[in-house]
Structure 1
Amino acid sequence: MTKVDIISGFLGAGKTTFIKRLVTDVFQKEQIVLIENEFGEIGIDGGFLKDAGIEITEMNSGCICCTLVGDFSEALKQVVEQYHPDRILIEPSGVGKLSDVAGAVRNVEEDCGIELNSCITVADGKKVKSYLRNFGEFYSNQIEHAATIVLSRTQSMTDEKLKEAVHLIREENPDASIITTPWDKLDGEVIRKAVEQTSKPTDLLKKACLHQEHYHHGDGCCHHGHHHDEECCHHSHHEDGCCHGHHHDHEGHHHADEIFTSWGTETAEKYERTEIERFLDALTEEHTYGTVLRAKGIVEGMDGTWMEFDYVPGEYEIRDAKPDYTGKVCVIGTDIHTDKIQQTLHV
């Protein structure tokens, strides 16, 4: 039986970094397969993780609920049959709902020979308060349905702020294990215990399945306020994989593509490092490009070296990277001015 661990987390929380840590220090003796679902047209993290020897199935689609009842079960079956892994790590989109993902896994456990082992959420400790306030159901769902919550960036928080973040999380989820110690101070065995001690989060999984039933009929289809005769909603996808224009008739349940905008491109353009710095600095000013929650990319520099960048509100990082087959940039947020971004990046 293949174990399945879901590693969720809001945009820019540090999921990819945490997954690398799990693969390197916690599950290093196991055969691991990562399945990720990127919100947006361009999947960027895939190349970074391939360096660690992980096989990746990328499903670039904005509507995670629909993706999961469609090709998700097929992807799982393929992965199990082809690789016979000890463990599958699922990294949902940063704006995916953990309850949807957990429910979808439970729906196909018997068919695929898998077992849902743990639901983990990575949360940026410095942004818990503002994200709970600003992003409602998308953020709180990931907190509420996790068995283990891993706080990132705690090393740069005061004790007071850390306690406040933990208190807010406890209000949403009184039962989860919460990792507050900076990751670089923890050895792999400590992380394993925190992840595995709630490895049968029965109550949380029941809650996830109940939540799922509000939005899914027993056939596993997500019907969107109108009847599909035996037809799953993934049959009505646009070419980009999103079911645009569909609205759930359940209060408080929205699709990511109703709230968030994703823009992505591949580019052969070359950039000065200072150009990328200016672009990332400008992302913090809402009137320039809209409300940007996440930006990441890998591009070639004027001198032939490559740069990889990551942006979350209030901070960014640019680091040296291995050459990719072409440059890629992805920006996610609300009310994004994509025309201005394209103008700035000459794409």
Structure 2
Amino acid sequence: MRKPIPITVLTGYLGSGKTTLVNRLLADPQGLRIAVIVNDIGEINIDAALISEKGHASITDDSLVALTNGCICCTLRTDLITQIVRLAKADCFDYILIEASGICEPLPIAQSIAMLDGTMKDQGLPTLCRLDSVVTVVDAYRLLTEFSGGEALLYPDGEADIAQLLVEQIEFCDLVLLNKTDLLSEEETAKVEAIVKALQPSAQIRQTSFADVPSKDILNLRLFDFSKTFLSAGWAQTIEHEQDEEEIHDHHEAEHHGHGENHDGHHHDHDEHQHLDEYGISTFVYYRRRPFHDDRLEAWVNRFPAQVIRCKGLVWIDGEDDTSFLLEQAGKSVSVQPFSRWLAAASPKEREQAWQRDPLSRNNWDEQAGDRMTKLVFIGADMDEAAICASLDKCLA
């Protein structure tokens, strides 16, 4: 029986060096017959043309597939799966490279491939493919400018800050290629690597220039595990590591201070954070069991601390006792949107059912507040943790 064909997904913002990397991999295929799927949001797939021009892959022999006029993370997801199935069944290739459009989010692409695998298993059919790894190519110079220079880089239509996308591409991956490091000093490169490590502690990081990376360092790495990659972002790991300490602290707070008084954000000075501390990169969690005053929170968001690179978490807003809100920030892009229903707003029966499905969720229950809380992870450079917490406390109702 033929083994599932491995797939590597390459993501990264426009101009990061993805196409250059694809051409280098095709020039040194390690004996593999590699097919390439290239996505471009425009009518003309420039990246596919650049790959074809190098002569390593061609549309005429089916080794190069161009998907245009949309993103494979949304409008072209079905087209992507169709092409993966076709290439896998053709039995002409040993490997599939997917070069995503520069504005693609990697998570939906991985979900599509995982769903294909699940569908085949459910139907009792042999698995056609396996996602080997998600590789994010990062323009190190742009990342330093975005998060250290304070300048927001915008999409052409001026509507959305690309910082959010840059962060999401880094947070959901197995390997980060820090490209264009030749444009930075050693100290600047080290700072960029520290930023990436804070955003994505679990990913491998490789520094390079001109996307000059050996194929053996990209192909057949067997790094991808959906659940691990999904939970590997820095903000998610910080929340997870905070949980045990939070429960212990809550117990003592209940004994000494009573309901409604919560601890300030915690900062963890573990050995693995020494490299981050050297460049002023730190993380902490702001956790309160009191709601925010809506107008005060809005005013605070509008003057978001410039030192914060990434902030994400749930927010409790006064008067919104049924609905939790998701606060999400990257660079200068900040949003506060309705997220889900608080379990406290459910019936006792629904609550018990939820606790049976997820027993650990009972640990978040407070006799008066229920599961309502604000829990925000902050990742930043040279942050004044005490000042940020104090300014947020002034927004509490």
- Give the TM-score normalised by structure 1: 0.54
**Bigger Cα Rg:** 2
Hey, what does 1:28 align to over in structure 2?
Answer: 30
Check the 8 A contact 1:37/1:92 in 2, yes or no: yes
Hey, what does 1:11 align to over in structure 2?
Answer: 14
Hey, what does 2:202 align to over in structure 1?
Answer: 175
Counterpart CA distance in 2 for 1:167 and 1:77 is: 39
Does 1:99 pair with 2:107?
A: yes
Counterpart CA distance in 2 for 1:38 and 1:184 is: 20
Check the 8 A contact 2:16/2:137 in 1, yes or no: yes
Counterpart CA distance in 1 for 2:91 and 2:69 is: 24
Query: 1:39 Cα shift?
Result: 1.5
Counterpart CA distance in 1 for 2:145 and 2:102 is: 16
Cα offsets for 1:240-294 (capped at 9, x unmatched): xxxxxxxxxx9689xxxxxxxxxxxxxxxxxxxxxxxxxxxxxxxxxxxxxxxxx
- The share of aligned pairs that are identical, in percent, is 24
Cα offsets for 1:210-230 (capped at 9, x unmatched): xxxxxxxxxxxxxxxxxxxxx
Hey, what does 1:199 align to over in structure 2?
Answer: 223
The one of 111, 127, 131 equivalent to 2:142 is 127
Q: Match of 1:108, SS?
A: helix
Check the 8 A contact 1:68/1:101 in 2, yes or no: no
Query: 1:148 Cα shift?
Result: 0.6
Query: 1:20 Cα shift?
Result: 1.2
Check the 8 A contact 1:121/1:149 in 2, yes or no: yes
Counterpart CA distance in 2 for 1:73 and 1:89 is: 13
The one of 82, 96, 118 equivalent to 1:88 is 96
Hey, what does 1:138 align to over in structure 2?
Answer: 165
Q: How many residues are treated as equivalent by the alignment?
A: 208
> Structure 1 9/74 Cα, relative in aligned 2: closer, same or farther at 3 Å?
same
Cα offsets for 1:128-152 (capped at 9, x unmatched): 1344554232111110111111111
Counterpart CA distance in 2 for 1:57 and 1:185 is: 24
Query: 1:202 Cα shift?
Result: 5.0
> Structure 1 127/64 Cα, relative in aligned 2: closer, same or farther at 3 Å?
same
Q: Which amino acid counterpart does residue 72 of structure 1 have in structure 2? A: L
- Give the TM-score normalised by structure 2: 0.48
Does 1:165 pair with 2:169?
A: no
Cα offsets for 1:140-188 (capped at 9, x unmatched): 11101111111111122101110111111111101111111436875x3
Counterpart CA distance in 2 for 1:185 and 1:45 is: 18
Query: 1:48 Cα shift?
Result: 2.5
Any residues of structure 2 matched to 1:42-53 within 5 Å, and which? 42-50=44-52, 51-53=55-57
Q: Which amino acid counterpart does residue 78 of structure 2 have in structure 1? A: G
Relative contact order, higher structure (CA 8 A, sep 6+): 1
Counterpart CA distance in 1 for 2:144 and 2:19 is: 22
The one of 144, 151, 154 equivalent to 2:181 is 154
> Structure 1 184/123 Cα, relative in aligned 2: closer, same or farther at 3 Å?
closer
Structure 2: runs of 5 or more not aligned? 121-126, 154-161, 233-324, 329-397
Cα offsets for 1:282-320 (capped at 9, x unmatched): xxxxxxxxxxxxxxxxxxxxxxxxxxxxxxxxxxxxxxx
Counterpart CA distance in 2 for 1:194 and 1:91 is: 13
Any residues of structure 2 matched to 1:1-347 within 5 Å, and which? 1-25=4-28, 27-50=29-52, 51-54=55-58, 55-110=63-118, 111=120, 113-131=128-146, 134=153, 135-182=162-209, 188=214, 192-193=216-217, 196-197=220-221, 199-207=223-231
